[in-house]
Amino acid sequence: MAFKAEIKSLKNEVAKEAPSIIHKAGKPYSTKVVSVDTLVGPKGGLGEVCHIILDHGGLFHFVEGQYLGVILHPDDDDDSLHTPFRVIIHAFSIASCRDGDSFDGEKLSLCVRRAELSPHDASNFLCNRKEGDEVDIIGPFAKTMVFPENPEAMHIMVATATGIAPFRSNIQRLFVDPQVPKGKFNGLAWLINGADNYNTLLYNKEFTCILKDNIDHFRYETALNNSVADRIYENGDEIFTLLDEGAYIYFAGSKTMMPGILETFQKMAKERGVIWEEMLARLKKNNQWRVEVY
């Protein structure tokens, strides 16, 4: 599908308001809700987080790491945002591989946190859906979290909260999707999964199971109290070595994690006699440093 989009924000979802994209051309896809399951309850510290499966009938084609737009139809008394040529949609990262959790190529999953402060937000709209409800989507968009098609590549992923979505999508494709030949990926996928506490560690059991079966190519670490910067520092030597060897490093989740992470990298660089500003510029130039935060 051809379209033009003006991207206002590149976010997974946020507790106050879902990010918006102004879409000027293209027809949305109609999907039906298969299930809405609660990953974390409303009193879990993170707030309620839902795993939502949508059936697109095999018509919505995307690759791992991309996001889509969910269209909220306006109230009858407020159609100011909608015209035949201008529609406001809200962006959510896709949390499943292209074949979906059931690997039939007809479904996709979203990881959505309910927006407690904005009752009419798109996040709440999704969390309130029931089986069989229709949800209009559009896209897919972006390539920041899309892994290069290199079976030998090394990927370091750092996530907090629902920022885990694009990483689950990629990891599912690399290690779980039966449509991908077993052993095709010979590189490294290293995930640092950050959360407030153990109960809000999204998809933890799933990643732990994947680790048991793919110990040579998948590495999984958790960072409780959202201490992802501390976990990075503890593994500083290995991370710097991997980056020097061409590894990609990805950050997804709350934008509040980035200042601490940048300070940590600057500290690690200084300890190793490296000028951090020059190193960061090189990583960005080589497309090794990838950030998608909200």
Q: Which residues are annotated as a binding site for NADP(+)?
A: 93, 113, 162, 292
In the 8-state DSSP scheme, what is residue 233? H
What strands, in cross-sheet order, belong to the sheet with 20-23? 5-7, 20-23, 87-93, 67-71, 134-141, 29-40, 49-55, 107-113
CA distance 59 to 68: 14
Sequence letter at residue 216: D
CA distance 202 to 49: 9
Of residues 143, 121, 92, 173, the one with CA closest to residue 291: 143
**Which spans in 128-275 are helix H?**
165-175, 204-213, 228-234, 236-244, 258-271
Find out whether 185 and 213 touch, Cβ atoms under 8 Å. no
Q: Is the dihedral of CA 25, 146, 160, 262 positive or negative?
A: negative
In the 8-state DSSP scheme, what is residue 98? T
Provide the annotated binding site: 93, 113, 162, 292
Of residues 137, 131, 200, 213, the one with CA closest to residue 172: 213
